[in-house]
Amino acid sequence: MGFWHQAVDGHGVFTVVSGEAGVGKSHLVDVVRDGAQRQGGSIVTFQCSPHYGDSPLYPVIGCLERMAGLEASDPAREKRRKLDHLTERLAGTEPHAAPLFAALLSLPPDQCSDLPAMSPPLRKQRTLTALAALFIECCRSSPSLLLVEDAHWMDATTLAMMELLAGELEDLRLLVVVTTRPVWSLPVAGFAHAVTIPLRRLGQDDVLQLMEQVSDGRTFPNEVVKVVMSRSDGVPMFVEELTKAMLESDALVQHDDHFRLKGVIDDLIPATLADLLTSRLDALGEGKDVAQIGSVIGARFEEGLLRHLSEMEQASIALALARLVDADILAEENSAPMPLLRFHHALLRDAAYGSILKRRRKDLHGRIAALIEDKHPEISEKEPETLARHHEAAGNVLVASEYWLKAGRRAVGSGANV
C-alpha cells in the first residue's frame, strides 16, 4: 500500500502489474482496492475485454455510465440530464463536456444539439481531454484509485486517454494500477514515470508460506508441499486452490498445529488447475448452475439479468449467489446504478464456462441475445458487438454477421471522432 499512501499525499503514481494468468494480479488488485476503500478513497475501474479490443473507449464508456448513474431504462433526456449534473459537479471539465459525452454514448442527435461543429480529429481530442479532466477532478475531492484491468485487451483510444491522464499525475491524489499479461507492454511515450511490477511464480519457500497462510498457520507434511509445488509449478492461484481443496477433503488429519497425510497423495490432488476449479464448482450444488449462467453473460454481470435466465426459485438463486461469494468464486461490486457481480478470476469464469454442455451453452447465448434485444434495445445501437458475440455463439450466423457489420461501421465512425 506504499504507492497508495504516496498518492494520498498528493504525489500520483502510475503502476503496471505484469504477470501470466493465475500469478497473483487479481489478488494484488483486491488488496489495494480493499485498502483504498477502508481509507475513504474513490474507486474507478476500467475493465478491458477481449471482445471489445476494437471498440474505441469501451472500458471508459462503461465507467462514465456508472459515474453518471445512467440506467438502461433511462430515457435519452434523463441520461443527458445526469451527464449535465456530472459535469457541473466536476467543475474543471471541458466546457462542452456534457454534449461530447452524450455523443460518445450515442444519445440521439437532439440530446447533442449544443455540441459545436468541429472536425472529427478536433472532436476526438476534445473528448479525450474532457474525459481526462473528469477523472482528474475526481481526485480533487478525495484520493482516488484507478484500476485498469486486463490492459492487454485495451483499445488504442483508451490508451491515448490514459497517456493524457498520466501526463497530469505528478500533483494528483491518484494511484493508477494497470494489470496486464506479459504479451503486452506499455508504450514508453507519455509513461516515462510508470513503475512496472513483474509478478513471477513462487519458489518452494513461498509455496509453503502461502499454504500455511490458507490453513491459518498450520503446517503440512513435506511430501504434500513437494507435490503441491510440482503440480502448481509455482502458480499462486493453483497453490491456493490446491490447498483449499485438500482442506475441504478427507485427505489430511489435523493434529494441533500441523496436518498428517491420510491416503495416497496422487489420488488426492487434481492434475490440472482446470480440473481443480471444476471440482470446486461441482461441490457447490446449485451454485454451479448459477456460476455457469453468469459465465455466459460475461466476466461481470447484473444479478437481475441472471435471475431472468435461471429457472431456479428466486430464494434459491440468492442462496447460491451467497455461497459463490463465500467460496471466493464471485465478488460483489457496489457499482452505481446497479450492483454487479464479477468472477474473482478469469480462470474461474473459464472453468465455469468450459463445464457447460455445448447445447446448453448455445441455448444460453441465444436467450441472452433475445433478452437484451427485448429489454435493452439501446444496446444494439451502443454495443452491437455484444449481440454479435451472443448470436454467433448461439449459432445464429446470419444475425451475428449483421451485428458484426454494424459494429464495424460504428467502430470506423467512432474512431474518427474518438
Two domains, one topology: 10-198 and 286-417: no
When pLDDT is averaged across residues 239-249 and rounded to a whole number, the result is 80
C-alpha 156/C-alpha 29 separation (Å) is: 23
pLDDT above 90 coverage of the chain, percent: 30
pLDDT above 70 coverage of the chain, percent: 92
When pLDDT is averaged across residues 82-86 and rounded to a whole number, the result is 92
Q: Are 42 and 187 in contact (CB under 8 A)?
A: no
| pLDDT tens digits along 342-368 | 888 888 888 899 999 999 999 999 999
Cis-peptide, bond into residue 337, ω within 30° of zero: yes
| pLDDT tens digits along 85-144 | 988 877 566 788 999 999 998 888 888 888 888 888 899 999 999 999 888 888 888 899
Q: Please, where are the H alpha helices in 172-216?
A: 204-214
| pLDDT tens digits along 32-56 | 999 998 998 889 999 898 888 888 9
C-alpha 13/C-alpha 400 separation (Å) is: 42
Single-letter code of the amino acid located at 37: Q
Q: What are the E-state strand segments in 90-226?
A: 144-149, 174-180, 195-198
Task: Tell me what pLDDT residue 361 has.
Answer: 94
Q: What are phi and psi of 7, to 5 degrees?
A: -65, -40
Mean pLDDT (the chain, rounded): 86
- Is the pLDDT at 375 greater than 80, yes or no? yes
C-alpha 164/C-alpha 132 separation (Å) is: 6
When pLDDT is averaged across residues 252-273 and rounded to a whole number, the result is 74
- What's the CATH fold of domain 286-417? Arc Repressor Mutant, subunit A (1.10.10)
Confidence band of 269 (pLDDT split at 50, 70, 90): low
Our CA dihedral for 101, 86, 164, 176, rounded to 10 degrees, sits at -130
User: Between β-strands 258-261 and 252-255, what pairing exists: parallel, antiparallel or unpaired?
Assistant: antiparallel
- Is the pLDDT at 293 greater than 70, yes or no? yes
Task: Tell me what pLDDT residue 128 has.
Answer: 93
Confidence band of 262 (pLDDT split at 50, 70, 90): confident
What Å distances lie between residue 301 and 3, 296, 323, 326, 362, CA to CA?
30, 10, 17, 18, 18
CATH of domain 10-198: 3.40.50
User: Between β-strands 195-198 and 13-18, what pairing exists: parallel, antiparallel or unpaired?
Assistant: parallel
| pLDDT tens digits along 186-235 | 765 566 678 888 888 888 888 888 988 888 888 888 888 888 888 888 88
Q: Domain ranges in the chain?
A: 10-198, 204-269, 286-417
Sheet holding 42-47, edge to edge: 42-47, 144-149, 174-180, 13-18, 195-198
